[in-house]
Structure 1
């Protein structure tokens, strides 16, 4: 009887011990790791490169002074419209320099000397005229005497020769008067401007006309004053020649081809379209904001035909965002890039199966920022762990962090 009563007691104690042991194991087991998750989806996928760019004009015209002269005030302002052949500005001869006291006194003395030479030349002319008149009258008288055979032919020829010589002297004296008159006018003109001012008389003017129809981009000179040949006055351009220059990383530039579509945004209006026109064959080094030297390649983008860029308000030097469309499709299996990590040199993800993390290798296609294309290894709708930490391992129990 005693042995029969003792056996159930041992069984009860054994069951109780097993229960306590199970509770202890359950209490000491690791708790599930809270994780962030995302699903494998199918949808549109765009492989593109986005970079900041600047608008510029393909062709500009710098209009400069063709000759040295005096520039009249330029009335055109930046932004004014111009037509081909329109007068842009005018040039006239430079004003005479101002005279100091000594130079002015010398000029006055030169004027007086020129006037004296003019008077002397006039007196010489009067003398030459009187001699010529007397010689002509003598020649006529000798001609009458010779006709009556009162003098020889040699005497007549001698009077004729004297008459011709006095005629030449009169002409020479007349030319001397003209020379003296010009000297007086030249000396008087030197004194006409005493302070460097221009003459009130009409000045010959040179009008410089516009080579194109467009806008005034830059005005280098506005006020009148002396200019030298080649000095820039205005810069002209047409908004029909507007384009975008984007400096891409060399590793991105090699993926582009002329003719690729480009979306232009970030300029302050609706998105615009364009296409790649040129990829520069050489690059340059530019230091980034983080102090890293980057190899950049200039890429030129043309706006699509038919866009009225002037009406949109775009101009030269405006900032834009250019998105180069390299590849796109409508039905693409894709996952967040944050779910990827390297394991044994292969791209890997953690898939949640029955509450546990399961490591799985995947084959990737294109990658675009926060999203990556999956070619093999996953199915649509599967749940992935994003940003897996050190606590997530193969077979670890996980719980979704709400």
Structure 2
């Protein structure tokens, strides 16, 4: 009897456990069924990404070499005092542009005026003595034939006349010297250019002399302006063989005669707007570095170039040719491969591997992989993949123009 009751109890417990497992299984199946019946968007229903495109532009460009150089004034003159004296006045403002012959400083002239006046009076005195000696000689010449005076007296008259004549010449030379000293009390600009600050204030005693005169200021000639830079020997030979029509000659010539153009870009500029010519190459190539120093000369009429600046300089090395350009930001990189996304007429993306050339400001030359008129994606590259449908918006025309340097044929392969 006891064994029967135990079996009944165990059987009830098993039934309750089985019922619980059935309920759990039903819930799981119900959840799975709901998940399978939920609405999932298909690929065709996903939103179409919006991108910005720019057309491939065809322009006339010229390949160029690019170097780093430094500007240097065509002339730098130290203005020094040439006579002793106290500085009376300064006739310019620091940093002014001065013209050749313009008065810069004045040294007190009173003492030099008195000395010069004394020199002039000495000329008058010696001239009078000369006239007297000349008259005495004339009388002696008439008396010698008659024996009224001896030959010795006559020769004394001749010597006296020549001595008086020499003193006149000496007095005139001394007057020229004092006139020069007086002239040097007014210090004028020897060249036209930008003047530095005055190094001596009014009232100070200045030291004169040819070598140790007091330094008063410095003038820098800004027009023309030179740019010096170093090139390798192969480039040097190429420049020296060129002619004004970009023709090559067998024998190197004078660099100045080649009229090779060059262009300069300042640190805060985006283009090479300063135009000049190469006019000098060092007489020999350095055996240590294998380079030679070249100089470009720039008219610098607007005085936009200042001496001592670091600049980028470009020298064209090819004839102008038609090239395709795209914005630099359209390029993407897959390891060592450069590529772009092109939007086709069907508004689908297509990956194109490209071979690139030199940079033109924010634009890049494309040597192969694209044709004129192709539309490349410049914004939204991260949102697209090959063959994807996109909504393309054309970039405004103002942003699509390549840099002016590309059109003018002055840029380089950088």
Normalised to the residue count of structure 1, the TM-score between the two structures is 0.45
Normalised to the residue count of structure 2, the TM-score between the two structures is 0.44
Structure 1 or 2, whichever has the larger Rg, is 1
